[in-house]
Structure 1
Amino acid sequence: MRRHDFEPGKLVIGLVLLGGCAAYLAAAAGRWHFPAYVLLPALGISLCVSGMVSALAVSVRRRRELGAEPGDREPGRSG
């Protein structure tokens, strides 16, 4: 099987969605009460956070592919 790239943005959004599902299940079971209008903004914020995490992961991956040193400002230039 081919190895896949690790995509942390998908991990973040998946964990948030699982948390939302767990909150709804806990509310349905009567174990926890929360205002339902809180989950929609939380979903929007988590989408933004996962987008930033994905952008950061792509930039790190590109920098690593170019072989740049951590202290370099411009990839491919020496000195």
Structure 2
Amino acid sequence: MSRHEFQPGRLIAGLVLLTAGVLYLVDAADDGDLPWWTLAPLVVAGLGLAALVGVVTMLVRSNHRTRPAARERQGAGDTENPPPGE
């Protein structure tokens, strides 16, 4: 089995939806009185948090991947154009 990147946004989204599903099942099994509008903010806020974490993860990874290439270009530029005194 090949390894894949850890995606924390998907983890958070899954946990939020799993929590909402468990709450709904507990409410249905116990004949509880959990109104639907209590789960809606939980799901919306959780998916919003998951989206935010996903975007931050994407930005961090893209910045981390482009940084070494920029260093190589700067290093190569220094050897091609030595200072005027040399």
> For the superposition of Structure 1 and Structure 2, which TM-score range results when normalised by the shorter chain?
0.7 to 0.9
Tell me, which stretches of 5 or more residues in structure 1 are unaligned?
Answer: 69-74
Q: Say which one has the larger Rg.
A: 2
Report what 2:6 is aligned to. Answer: 6
Letter in 2 for 1:76: A
In 1, are the aligned partners of 2:16 and 2:47 still within 8 Å (CA)? no
In 2, the alpha carbon distance for the partners of 1:65 and 1:58 equals 11
Tell me, which stretches of 5 or more residues in structure 2 are unaligned?
Answer: 75-86
Residue 66 (structure 1) shift: 2.4
Provide the TM-score with structure 1 as the length reference: 0.73
Q: Across the two proteins, how many residue pairs are aligned to each other?
A: 72
Letter in 1 for 2:54: S
Residue 29 (structure 1) shift: 2.0
Pair 1:31–1:76, CA change in 2 (3 A): farther
Report what 1:71 is aligned to. Answer: none
In 2, the alpha carbon distance for the partners of 1:31 and 1:11 equals 30
Q: Which has the larger helix fraction? A: 2
Question: Aligned-residue CA RMSD in angstroms?
Answer: 2.4
Percent of aligned positions with the same letter in both sequences? Answer: 33
Aligned pairs (5 A) from 1:62-73 = 62-67=62-67
Report what 2:44 is aligned to. Answer: 44
Question: Could you give the per-residue CA deviations for residues 29-57 of structure 1, whole angstroms, max 9, x where no partner exists?
Answer: 21854222111122112121111000011
Provide the TM-score with structure 2 as the length reference: 0.68
In 1, are the aligned partners of 2:12 and 2:46 still within 8 Å (CA)? yes
Letter in 1 for 2:11: L
